[in-house]
Each structure stands twice: as structure tokens, then as C-alpha cells.
Chain A
Amino acid sequence: MMFLEKGDLHFVLDVLAGLGKLYVPAESNGITRFVPYGGEKTQVWLQTNTAISPKEILFPATETLYRYETGRGKETVKPVADHHAPLILFGIRSCDLQAITCLDDVFLDGEFVDELYRERRETATIIALSCAKAGPHCFCQSMGLDPLAHRQSDLQMYDYDQYYGLEANSDRGRLLLETLEKHDLLSVSGRENPVPALEFALEVETEGITEKLTGMFEHPLWEEVASKCLNCGICTYLCPACHCFDISEKLDNAHCGSKIRCWDSCMFSGYTRMAGGHNPRPGKRERVRERFMHKLCYFPQRYGKYLCTGCGRCLAKCPVGLEITKIMELVKEVENDA
């Protein structure tokens, strides 16, 4: 393990910014999210995880798929030429990195590869940061994660009192360490104090939940829990792992426009409403069920992991307290006679 004095962090960020497009957690306009590093004026935020997840860097809330021109007998389609500088994502927490692995499953791992996501993802170097404490809504440990480290990072940073301990998990991570060493920013001596296990205020039992949910599609529980949902969709917009999107048109004028993709939400009635009016998920019961089933049952069945990483953002921001942790507890408690 190599060590970095916390006081030298801004030198490290300056070096990283020279290697690619560097994103750091920061406070920006009163909200914490990942922003392009802009030197000293960037108010780096490392106390807790950010309010908005880093998902938007790899999978933007809105992006252009292609541009087109029509009319006067000609039609042209121009895919967006997008040559990215290599991305460096600094300070990603275990929960958000786990969510990135979920996005990888969806966008990279099948018969069809999403090229826009791939271009960003394959150039991204991920520098993970261990959590110093668990927030009031955090439950990553219950979802099977280690809040101190995630093996799919390129470089793992451990938060020790005055130092960060650095460990490379990939060639890219090792190259970063070498680069930082050349700048005399690292030392081999430091204190590798064992970090005490984090105290979680929130714990939930997930054992067997996918199997139990498999038989609970028609359970009255969904009607009950859905009644207070406002279908506002904040849970899905803040979720670091929710990947659903819409594709629509943006017209510049009668002849030119773009095809755009933007995040969508299973909480909205228009999400599944078909031309002609039929909607397979017409009410709150169906939509709320879909969200929890997707995260805890369907996604695990398809990809072998939960689509919830315990980051707690949906718990923190749900206006009616419809918390996935409570749903998991309810699912565990109820009789399943379906």
C-alpha cells in the first residue's frame, strides 16, 4: 500500500486533471454531485457520499443519439461523433461503483452493446474511496457490499486519519500510482491503521428475498404499500442503478432534429402506456410492484445481483417514506400463500 498525505490531495487532483477529464465529488449550487474538476475553485466534498450519484457521468440524464435532416427528397442520419477524453472518476463509493457494475450488465453485457455508454465506460478510470462512516440512510452492507473497498475499482483509496492509503486493482490503477510516485506525492511509510468496521444504523435481512418475491406477484402487500406512493419518480432519478430510458424526438425546425435519450421512470403511467391506450401497468400497485420487483427479483434473476446497492438516496428523498428497506422487511414478514 502507498500513502498520500491528505494535505497533498489537491496536488494529486491537479496531476489527475492532466491525465483526462477528472470528475470529483463537490458541492455545487448547494447540492453535492460529481463535477468536472476545476482546480481550487472546486469545493471537493468528501465528508459523505453525494446527493446525486455519479451515474450521470457514464449515463447522462439526456443525450443525443443521432442528428438528422429530412425534406426535399433527402434524409440523412448522422450518429453523434463523440470522442471523449479518458474519464477519471475520483471518490466513488462502493455503493455507486456497484451500481456502475449493474449498468455494465445492462449496456455492455448482452448481445447488443450501447456504444455511447461503452465509449465512456471503457475510457473511465475509477478511483474508489472508502467510507469513514455510514450515513443514516446507508445500508450497503446489508446488500452484500463492503463500504471500505470495491474490487472493481482501478484504484482503491482508504480513508486513514491524516493519510489516504492507495491500492491498485488494475493496470490502469498501477499506472496512476506510478505517475503519482513520479510527482513525489506518495510515500511507502504511513499508518495503515486498521479501519474499524462501520456502524450501520440501518440493517436489513436480504437472505432469500429474490426467491420469496418470485411467488409474491399477486400478494395484497403491493396494494397496501402502493397506496401512499405519489409516483413522483424521485427514487428512480436519484438511484445510481436505475437504467430505464426513453427515446424521443427533439425538433430544431421542420427539417432538422435529433433523436435524444433521457432517463425514464417506471413510476410514470406513460412509461408502459401503448399507442391505442392499453397499459399493462395502469395503477400505482403495478408500478410500485414493478420497481421493487425489478430491483430485488427480476434483475437478480437476469444478472445475478440486486439492482439496489444500499446507497439510501431513495430513502432520504422519498416524500412519503416508502422505503425499500421497509419493503424488504415486510416481504420477509408476510405469509406467502400466493
Chain B
Amino acid sequence: MPEVAAFSGQRLAGVDDVRRINPLVPVQAQITRAITETHDTKTLYVVGLDGKVPFSLNPGQVAMLSLLGVGEGMFSGVDAGDHLEFSIKKVGALTGALHEVEPGQIVGLRGPYGNGFPLEFCRGKNLLFVAGGIGLAPLRSLVRFCIKHRSDFGGIHLVYGARTPGDLAFKGEIAGEWVAVEDFAISLTVDQGDRDWQHHVGFVPNLLRELKPAPDNTVCLVCGPPAMIKNSIVVLEELGFAAEEVLTTLEMRMKCGIGQCGRCNIGSCYVCLDGPVFRLADLKRYSSEY
């Protein structure tokens, strides 16, 4: 039918001939290592099927990790050069299944997503990291970046808390590498200590109030459970930190990761697309809905 041909021709003229890949379809990747961090947290090393890093992740960026038949979830990752690392706390069906994954197993991966930390903004300044529980995982990418480019940053101070000593993640890395880094102060706290615990006891916001870190030329990066973030922000403001100098990285339930499925918005921003890193000044303008 010539009319159909004419009509189809008209249609095809405007269509990009190259069939692009749907961004919702993951690429396949492989687990090379699974490290037990705590009783409920593991770090997975992920490479592409060719053995190389699947894509690069800037500090603070995130990616969708999936298991066929189980589900898909957004995790913050660390780009270790030859592989990506995802530190995952077991909280539900997908994370439970990811904890059962063994080296050699195939997972789905798509990304990189999100804005990441504003590295230029942080450069030359002191950095105060405030983390609670698994909230250290997204901050760890920036901590590692700062260690690698140590001379680009001022003093580093990590205030890290968890429920119990057994809930502190990355203990080996903190005690092995981070304590040895020049001008890197580490303050650890737990809600409830045990007989061997020699650091602080109490919630992170209270420890901040006690330590009184100075706000001068300092960027503060906060991540943890929402209540910890909100209470820490109150203390940071008391200490004189400007809303422009306080950054947090948020998580929300996500399905698409590309600003379309709708659920991870904070005001008119999507955490997946415009975050996950936000300045406190911006969050104040949008809402506290996280």
C-alpha cells in the first residue's frame, strides 16, 4: 500500500536510526569478592564481565545493583580503580539475597547515577565527616578520595557512631589505614559500649556538641539514619556551621534512578538525579521530607 509506505517514510525520517539502549536495562557484572564488615553489612567487589571496572563512579555517586528474580536497589559505591565496591546492610529481601552472593556470581548493574560530592567546593578546606552506621559507606568514597589527594584538602575529622561496637563498619580500614593518615582525627562512639570499648558512648549529635568542631573553613558531610542527620544538623548550626557548608547524602526508595518513576523527590528535586548529595541550604528550601 503506497500510502502506508509514504506515511511510514514520513515517520522514519524523524526517528534516530540507531536503536539506543533502554536505560532501565542493566548490564551484567560479576562479583569478585565479598567482605564481611559487620554481622549485617558486607562489601561486594564488582567488575564487568570483561574483568574491568564497569564504569567510573565519582565520590558520592550511586548505582543500581540487581539480582534477577529478586529485585533492584540503589547503592552508593566506591570506585577503587579496577573494581567498584558496594557496602550493603542487610535490611530486606534484595539486600538479604545480596548477602548470599558468592564470588563469580553475576549481578545486574546500571549507572552511574547522581551528582556526587562537589569536589571543587571541598578542595582546600577542612572536612568534617559525620556518619552513623551504614551512613559511612557513601562518605567513605570521599574519605578515600581525600586520602589519595591528601595535599588538596585541609584537616580531616571523622565522627562516626553506631549502635554497638559490633555495628561499626570498616573497622579494619579505619584502624589500619585512616589512623595513619596525616592530620586525620577520628572520634568513634556507640550507643551502647561493651567491656572492651575505649571510645565515646552516646549518640553522634551529642558527641558533636561535646567535641565542638570548629566551623572555620570547614565543610561538614553528614550521612546516617534520617533522625541522626536531622539531629546532627541542629548541633552543627549551634556550632556555627553555615547551611551552605553542610552537605548530606540522602537515600530514598527508588525504582528507576533516572528521575522518572517519581518517588524519590524532595520538593522539585529528585534524589536520584539532582542528589543524592544536597547542601543543607537547599534542603531547607525544599522540605524535610526524607
Contacts and interface: CB of A to CB of B under 8 A. Distances in A.
Given A70-B68, A272-B253, A114 B8 contact: no
Contact of B252 (A77, A251, A274): A274
A101 to B, nearest CB: 15
Contacts of B93: 275
- Which of B24, B94, B252 gathers the greatest number of chain A CB atoms within 10 Å? B24
B71 A172 contact: no
Contact of B91 (A115, A182, A275): A275
Interface stretch (A142-150, A294-302, A322-330): A294-302
A158 interface: no
A301 to B, nearest CB: 4
A122 B73 contact: no
B106 interface: yes
A113 B23 contact: yes
Contacts of A11: none
A302 B268 contact: yes
A224 B44 CA distance: 47
A106 B265 CA distance: 13
Interface stretch (A90-98, A198-206, A278-286, A309-317): A278-286
Given A275-B73, A275-B91, A276-B92, A243 B68 contact: no
A301 B268 contact: yes
Nearest to B7: A19
Contact of A77 (B4, B25, B92, B263): B25
Contacts of A217: 267, 287
B260 A112 contact: yes
Given A79-B22, A112-B23, A113-B23, A172 B69 contact: no
A123 B15 contact: yes
A171 B259 contact: no
Contacts of A290: 265, 289
Contacts of B8: 86
B253 A274 contact: yes
Contact of B20 (A20, A86, A113, A275): A113
Contacts, number: 147
A14 interface: no
Given A249-B70, A297-B268, A298-B265, A243 B95 contact: no
Contacts of B15: 122-123
A24 interface: no
B256 A247 contact: yes
A172 B10 contact: yes
A281 B10 contact: no
Given A75-B106, A280-B289, A18 B252 contact: no
A243 B260 contact: yes
Contacts of B287: 217
Contacts of B50: none
B1 interface: yes
A175 interface: yes
Interface in B1-54: 1, 3-4, 6-8, 10-11, 14-15, 19-26, 28
Count class of interface residues, chain B = 35 or more
A185 B15 CA distance: 30
Given A86-B11, A172-B10, A175-B10, A79 B69 contact: no
Interface residues of A, number: 60
Given A257-B68, A275-B95, A280-B226, A114 B22 contact: yes
B24 A246 contact: no
B22 A116 contact: yes
Given A113-B23, A280-B226, A75 B69 contact: no
B38 to A, nearest CB: 15
B289 A20 contact: no
B69 A114 contact: no
B72 interface: yes
A264 B20 contact: no
Contacts of B259: 106, 110, 112
B157 interface: no
A34 B226 CA distance: 45
B257 to A, nearest CB: 9
A297 B266 CA distance: 12
A113 B6 CA distance: 27
Contacts of A122: 11, 14-15
A180 to B, nearest CB: 10
A273 interface: yes
A23 interface: no
A299 B89 CA distance: 34
Given A79-B22, A272-B264, 14 more contacts: A18-B3, A66-B25, A68-B69, A75-B28, A115-B20, A116-B22, A123-B15, A172-B10, A179-B6, A217-B267, A246-B255, A264-B255, A271-B263, A301-B267
30 contacts: A18-B1, A18-B3, A20-B7, A65-B25, A66-B22, A66-B25, A68-B69, A77-B68, A77-B108, A79-B25, A86-B11, A106-B260, A107-B260, A110-B259, A122-B11, A172-B11, A179-B3, A243-B262, A244-B263, A245-B256, A257-B69, A264-B263, A272-B263, A274-B252, A275-B93, A275-B253, A293-B267, A297-B268, A299-B268, A302-B268
Return the 4 tightest CB-CB contacts between A and B, nearest first. Answer: A275-B92, A244-B262, A276-B91, A112-B258
Interface of B: 1, 3-4, 6-8, 10-11, 14-15, 19-26, 28, 68-73, 89, 91-95, 106, 108, 225-226, 251-253, 255-256, 258-265, 267-268, 273, 287, 289-290
Interface of A: 15, 18-20, 65-66, 68, 70, 75, 77, 79, 86, 106-107, 110-116, 122-123, 171-172, 175, 179, 182, 217, 243-249, 251, 257, 259, 261, 264, 266, 271-276, 278, 280-281, 286, 290, 293-294, 297-299, 301-302
